Each structure stands twice: as structure tokens, then as C-alpha cells.
Amino acid sequence: MKLCAIVLCLVLSTEKSWSYPSSRFEEAAFEKYLEKARAVLDRVPLIDGHNDFPYSLRRYKDNQVGNLDINDLTTSQPWASSSSSHTDINRLRQGKVGAQFWSAWVSCTTQYKDAILKTWEQIDVIHRMVDANPDTFEFVTSAQGIEDAFSQGKIGSLVGVEGGHSIGSSLAVLRMMYDMGARYMTMTHSCATPWGDNSQLDDPGNVPIHDGLTPFGKTVVAEMNRLGMLIDLSHVSRKTMRDALETSTAPVIFSHSSAYALCNDTRNVPDDILQLVAQNGGVVMVNFFVSYISCGLTATVQQVADHIEHISNVAGVDHVGIGSDFNGVARTPEGLKDVSEYPNLFAELLARGWAEIDLEKVAGLNLLRVFRGAEAVRDQMVADGVKPFDEWIPQTDLPAESLPCSTGQSMLHTYFLETLMSTD
Ligand SMILES: [Zn+2]
């Protein structure tokens, strides 16, 4: 009995030393887990919820990427010396990425100005990047599309619009973005919209503007349900999370957020919301940004694994995924420095005793289930004869700063002006 206990102790202590390596001895042990991790990612697509590479194309190339070779960006400038250049085709392949939601993000400074135009430009550059690299990427818009691309060895490429400011408070624009291929919208970025509050409003000293979603904000949720567009609650305030979870009939996502209990940044998801996500059937895709992992200036792949374990413990293993935020952030964890290193994270979880079936869920099966759930809600709403929602945001909901760039929504008003100005 005593011998058994000693052996058990030895096994446990040896197990413990096999996490992400810090010495050559540990490296040899870790390699076994890496092999297994790679095999898991050969079986199921690793689906990452958020990568800001498209914004790098604007930042470094003004979206003039017709002649840009993105196979290896480790040696060409300005990519090579950028601390937020984590993505190219060679490294995506090394990292065994199976599908990627590419972020169509434009800054909150564009709100009430040219947000819609610039978002369309970002969606355009994603389409062009995919079309220019047909051996690597395939543009997909459905859960089945992700699986089909993966079975052909392609990285299924999807569009996520990051920030409700990108639709200019117009359901018509939302629908057109869906038609351009957008399959999620983050309800806010780091600014409130006229219909929803953002996460910074939960920071000490700040006060909510709308106390969550306005009635029009809830209509945006309903229209996204009708379209089959995923509702992304990264970047929103806690009350917006609650309102959206209450309103949505489809499972929701957090495309790139980690656990608030381990790092108390308002960009992360608190435990009470994690429990609601479990009830909703949604998924929280863990962000790798060190500021959201350790709340400090450095972090490790083990700490990212801690966030995955925490979300799994609170919400269940069916409700956690991966949303790296690569290329959007400057500081990435040791062991997860760029897109080539995802297998380290899965190896770390294997070393902790995780079952391969659970790693498959975290890698992509959870997101596929959520996506199919949203598609099923869409199909049911079509079958029930639900028509596109066509109300406008009330003029009284719009702030004064939005007015200089608007001619108003009432056609009667516009018609009156046109009649006055007509010289015929
Ligand atoms: Zn973000």
C-alpha cells in the first residue's frame, strides 16, 4: 500500500515536470505530447476566433497587397521587426490552423464618419488575400464549409466584423455585411454604439451609457439570429453580455476573451457570465494577449492553459475554444509567440491529463456546434416566416456628434429637400 503511494507520488511528480519545457530533459518528454497534439489537429480543424492580420495589411501596405507574398513574413520589412506580426502562411501551416475568422476591424475613431466604408475595405482585402492564395485558403461561410475546406487541406477563411460601429446603426448595412460573407459581428469595440455599451464602461470610474443594449440593440440581436450571424460578446459590457444572452435565441460566442477570475480585466468573462454561456450553449474562445492572461507584461503558455481549464471548470469543456488575437496585440506569451505555436498549448493540456476528445472540442468542435446551432435558428426563423426587421434606430437615440454626417433617415424629409433644390 505504502509502495503504491510512493509510486503514485513519483508518477504524479514526473507528470508535473512534463509541462511546457524549460530544460532539455523536459523537452524530450514534451515532444511526445507535441506529437499527439499535432495528431489531434490533423483530425479536427483548429478554428481560431480572431486574427487581426487584415488590419496589418492596411497598417503596413495600405491594403495594396496585389504583389505581396505572404508565405514568409519573418524576413521582410516592416513585418520582420514588428512585435505584432505573428502570421504568415508558413507559420499557419506549422501551427496546424484549420480555419480562421479574419477580423474586419476599423478603429472607433471612424464611428459616425467612414466606419462602414473602411469596414467594407477590410472585408475586400480579406477576399483578395484568400483569392490570391487558393492553395492555402478557401473563403467559407458555413460550418459545413469549414469542414469541407479542412478535408481538402485548406484553411477555411471567414470574416468577423469587429465592432457594432461598423454598421452605422443600420440593419440594412448589417444584412449587406452578411452578404459580403461576415459570419460574426462583435457587438461593440472599445466604444459604445448608439445601441450598446462596451467593456470599458465597466472600468472603475466609468458609468454605463445605455445600461446594456437599447431596444434597437435587441433588434440587432434578433436580426443577427434571423441571418444566422454569430453574436460576438468580446469587448462588450457585462450588462450588454446579459442582455444579449437573454435576447438571443441562438448560441453566442466570445471570439477573443479570457477568464476574468484569473485576470480581472473587463475584456475577460466573469464566472457568472460563463455559467450563462453554458446555459446558452455558446463558446468562449480564449485570447492569448498577455495583458488578458496574466494582467502583467509577460505570460506563458501554461497560464493560457490555466484560462482554458478555468472556463472548462466553470462552464464545461463544451464551452471553451481558441481566439488568439494574433496580429492585434504586441505581447504574446512564451510558448505561444505566433501562429506556429498552437500545438504547444494542446501539448500542455495533454501533459496535464486532458483527454484527446476534449482537446478536439477546444480546437474546433465546440465552435462548429455553436455555428450549426446559429444556422439551425436561422433556418427555423425562415420556416416560421420571420421577415427581415426593417425598423430604424430612433433619431432620439443618436448622439449629436453623429448628426453632421447624416442627412437623416426619413425619405419624406429627403424628398422635401430634393424638391426644394430641384431646378427643373
Ligand atoms: Zn479585439
Q: Which of 48, 50, 232, 341 is catalytic?
A: 50
Mark whether 189 is an active-site residue: yes
- Cell triple for 340: 506556429
**Ligand 1 centroid, distance to 385 Cα (angstroms):** 35
234 C-alpha to ligand 1 centroid (Å): 7
pTM metric for this prediction: 0.93
Of the candidates 165, 189, 307, 310, the residue annotated as catalytic is 189
Domain membership flag for residue 57: yes
Active-site entry in 256, 307, 310, 319: 256
DSSP letter at 276 equals H
Least Cα distance to 307 among 353, 364, 348 occurs for 348
How far is 187 from 398, CA to CA, in rounded Å?
Answer: 17
Active site annotation includes 86: no
Rg (CA), the chain: 23
Establish if 1 belongs to a structural domain. no
Q: What is the pLDDT along the chain (424 residues), one digit of tens a residue?
A: 444 444 444 444 444 456 888 777 788 889 999 999 999 999 999 999 999 999 999 999 999 999 999 999 999 999 999 999 999 999 999 999 999 999 999 999 999 999 999 999 999 999 999 999 999 999 999 999 999 999 999 999 999 999 999 999 999 999 999 999 999 999 999 999 999 999 999 999 999 999 999 999 999 999 999 999 999 999 999 999 999 999 999 999 999 999 999 999 999 999 999 999 999 999 999 999 999 999 999 999 999 999 999 999 999 999 999 999 999 989 999 999 999 999 999 999 999 999 999 999 999 999 999 999 999 999 999 999 999 999 999 999 999 999 888 887 665 555 555 666 665 5
- Using an 8 Å Cβ cutoff, are 161 and 179 in contact? no
d(Cα 40, Cα 96) in Å, to the nearest integer?
10
The verdict on whether omega for the bond into residue 134 sits within 30 degrees of 0, i.e. cis, is no
Q: Does residue 11 fall inside a structural domain?
A: no
CA of 165 to the centre of ligand 1 (A): 13
251 C-alpha to ligand 1 centroid (Å)? 20
Active-site annotation holds for 148: no
CA of 267 to the centre of ligand 1 (A): 9
The answer to the question of residue 12 being in a domain is: no
Q: How many domains does the chain have?
A: 1
Dist. CA 103–CA 126, nearest whole Å: 9
Q: Which cell numbers in the block locate residue 152?
A: 481538402
Quote the ligand 1 centre to 40 CA distance (angstroms): 28
Q: Is 358 a catalytic residue?
A: no
Catalytic annotation present for 307: no
In a domain, 421, yes or no: no
Distance of CA 324 from the midpoint of ligand 1 (Å): 10
* Amino acid at residue number 250: A
Select which of 48, 88, 138, 162 is catalytic: 162
| Residue 404 located in a structural domain | no
Q: In terms of residue numbers, what domain contains 263?
A: 24-394
Residue 140 within a domain: yes
Element (H, E) at 104: strand 97-105
Give 383 Cα–ligand 1 centroid separation in angstroms: 35
Q: How far is the CA of 189 from the centre of ligand 1 (A)?
A: 7
Of the candidates 48, 52, 147, 232, the residue annotated as catalytic is: 52
The two beta strands, 283-286 and 182-186, are: unpaired
Measure 325 CA to ligand 1 centroid, in angstroms.
7
CATH number of residue 252's parent domain:
3.20.20.140
